[in-house]
Amino acid sequence: GESVGLHLPTLSVQEGDNSIINCAYSNSASDYFIWYKQESGKGPQFIIDIRSNMDKRQGQRVTVLLNKTVKHLSLQIAATQPGDSAVYFCAENRSGGTSYGKLTFGQGTILTVHP
Amino acid sequence: EAGVAQSPRYKIIEKRQSVAFWCNPISGHATLYWYQQILGQGPKLLIQFQNNGVVDDSQLPKDRFSAERLKGVDSTLKIQPAKLEDSAVYLCASSSGQGAGNQPQHFGDGTRLSIL
């Protein structure tokens, strides 16, 4: 069935380093992807999104890369800070048909930033 | 703007009891979602509303779960009777436009449900 998965369940980095969180998706019809950050006891917080007609999108300290050939998504965080410590989820959606509006989430990657 | 509001934040009940959760989406957001998040997993969609109509409830266990959004704004999710496996965080999200294909979903902080 359709699924979104993450290569690494945990990632530990030093403060100031760059972090890369990876995600593989299996539905080639997916055309919209979102990264969320979830801190303990809180709901997922939107970070950045990308549509399938793009292969790169930048935000503040974050960059999302999309490789449709290998169905791979990554989130790059520059100059990682202790406040970036959280669980990061990728989610995918196919805009048309019966899956319209339905986000499918991956399992999540735990990012720990050491001061 | 105010975010998605959910209540209560925590709920503890015994199995076979009933429970209800409430959600107030971001003002003006037509689409509302309920998700179930089991510890250590990503959220799983239970039901999606567009205004006061159900768009997708294929993952909702309809023998025990029900949800409504009568006036197209607030929504309630009910479980009756609860089972042990219903222990999870129940998240509400909302988005503008025609769903996640156009706009990102914004989440509340959820209700953590524990079944004894």
pLDDT in the model for residue B65: 98
Residue recorded with tokens 């990102």: B104
CB–CB of A45 and B107 under 8 A? yes
pLDDT per position as a tens digit, A10-59: 999 999 999 999 999 888 888 899 999 999 999 999 999 999 999 999 99
CB–CB of B41 and A108 under 8 A? yes
For chain B, say whether A98 makes contact (Cβ under 8 Å): yes
Show residues of chain A in contact with B104, CB under 8 Å.
34, 46, 49
For chain A, say whether B56 makes contact (Cβ under 8 Å): yes
For chain A, say whether B24 makes contact (Cβ under 8 Å): no
CB–CB of A31 and B101 under 8 A? yes
Show residues of chain A in contact with B93, CB under 8 Å.
43
Lowest mean pLDDT among A13-17, B71-75, B89-93: B71-75
Q: To the nearest whole number, what is the mean pLDDT of chain A?
A: 88
How does B54-86 read in b/e, with b if 16+ C-beta sit within 10 Å? ebbbeebeeeebbbebeeebebebebeebeeeb
pLDDT per position as a tens digit, B15-33: 999 999 999 999 999 999 9
Distance CA A109, CA A59 (A): 20
Tokens representing residue A78 in the block: 């520059």
pLDDT in the model for residue B99: 47
For chain A, say whether B55 makes contact (Cβ under 8 Å): yes
Q: What is the mean pLDDT of residues A63-75?
A: 96
For chain B, say whether A94 makes contact (Cβ under 8 Å): yes
